[in-house]
Amino acid sequence: MPAHRQEIQQEYILRAHLILRVLIFFIFGIIALSGICFHLLGIDFRDYLRHFSLCAFRAITGIQCPGCGMTRAFLSLGQLKFKEAIQLNPFSLFLLIIMILYICIGQSPSWLQNKVLIRITLIVVITVWLLRLINT
C-alpha cells in the first residue's frame, strides 16, 4: 500500500475516533444533565419510565436484554444515586468508567482488548442476565 494511502487511512481512523469521543461525551452529558434536571425538579423518572422501553429486543420478545435498565441507571448516575444505578443495571458503573476513560485518553484502554478478559466479561454478563431473568 502506498505511503500516501496509509496516511489518508490513518487520518480517517483518527477522525472516526474523534467523532466517537464527541458522541460519547454528548450522550453522557445529556443523560447526566437529564438526571440532574429530574433531581432538581423533583421528578421521579422511575414512575415516568416504568412501562416505557426503548429496547428492541424487549419489544420483540418481551424479555429483558442484558442492557435493559441502562438508560434509567445512567439517569440515576446523573443524580449520584450509585446504588440505585447498580440495581437497575449492574454494568452501568463499569460502562461509565469505560466511557470516561475513552473520552479522556481517546481510545479504549488496552486492558479491554485482552481476549481472556473479554470472554470472562461475556460470561459474567450472560450469567447476570440469566439471574435477572430468573428473579423477575
Mean of pLDDT values over 87-109: 80
* Eight-class DSSP state of 112: G
Q: Which of 73, 97, 90 is nearest to 24 (CA)?
A: 97
Mean of pLDDT values over 46-75: 77
pLDDT at 3 over 60: yes
Ranking 2-6, 25-29, 88-92, 116-120 by mean pLDDT, the lowest is 2-6
In angstroms, the Cα distances linking 60 to 71, 88, 109, 111 are 19, 21, 34, 35
